Amino acid sequence: MGDGLALSYVVPAHNSTSTIERTLDELDSQLADMGDGAAEILVVENGSSDGTLELARRLESEWAGKTPLRVLTCEKGLGNALREGILASKGNRVFLGADDLPFGFGDLDAALELDGDTVPVVVGSKAHRDSVVDRSMLRDVMTFGFRVLRWLILGMRTKDPQGTFILAGDWARSTAPDLLESGFLFTTELAYVAERAGIKPVEVPVSLRTNHSEHGSRIRVSDVWRMGAGLFVLRKRHRRARRSV
């Protein structure tokens, strides 16, 4: 079980000097409402080249917020950062977010309304019918194509495994060592492993912030091609793992 903490909020940070300080201030204000000692913030810097680690360390040393802040570092890669954050977490539930809070806190609020014991995996899903997401046509096409590939190659039912996640803490910490993806496919692997374990991720609606475009998308067309090829690697890896059990 977690050390009395209700929530660990993991923030992966890569070249995040323009957003991280504002994000931490918002997080502290929001999580403080949960009560003293109820939550923690974990910033996981990964391979930045713009001084993100130095800024995060300074913010940590000067931190006066009500929510405890820890700064970790790992090799470059979203997956590496999320895995590191999960393994270092102490909360009964673990939130996997982003450095610019693209959905605000609607996803967190919706997830916390659900029982973490009976719903161990919740996804803030852009594919939910009630989500409000203003994206380019190219991004919509890329997203739909990748969804079809996931269904064809992996048989996945989760519509948007590229969203935010809130996980049962013990399950997340026991599962994280089996998740080997270092980049954007990490959350797809996470949802895939959950489905194969008989867990049905529950997707909740999100609303994309109007200022989200300030930070821009980190995913490019070339990333989608690599992620598509990576689905075959995922399938092979976890089918082989099941046979070896």
pLDDT score at 245:
44
Asked if 196 contacts 182 with a C-beta cutoff of 8 angstroms, the reply is no
pLDDT at 80: 98
Distances (CA, A) of 19 to 112, 119, 126, 137, 222: 25, 31, 22, 26, 25
The vertex-47 CA angle with 41 and 52, nearest 5°, equals: 55
What pLDDT was estimated at residue 7? 98
Domains of the chain by range and CATH?
7-131+158-217 (3.90.550.10)
Task: Give the 3-state secondary structure of residue 98.
Answer: coil
Q: What is the pLDDT along the chain (245 residues), one digit of tens a residue?
A: 556 799 999 999 999 999 999 999 999 999 999 988 899 999 999 999 999 999 999 999 999 999 999 999 999 999 999 999 999 999 999 999 999 999 999 999 999 999 999 999 999 999 898 988 876 666 666 777 777 888 899 999 999 999 999 999 999 999 999 999 999 999 999 999 999 999 999 999 999 987 664 445 556 666 667 778 899 999 998 987 665 54
The answer to whether 122 and 166 have CB atoms below 8 angstroms apart is yes
Q: How far is CA 35 from CA 1, 67, 68, 103, 196, in A?
A: 19, 9, 12, 22, 36
Structure tokens at 137: 């046509």
Q: pTM for the full model? A: 0.90
Reference 187, options 123, 120, 127; nearest CA is: 123
Instruction: Please name which of 102, 115, 101 lies closest in space to residue 26, comparing C-alpha atoms.
Output: 101
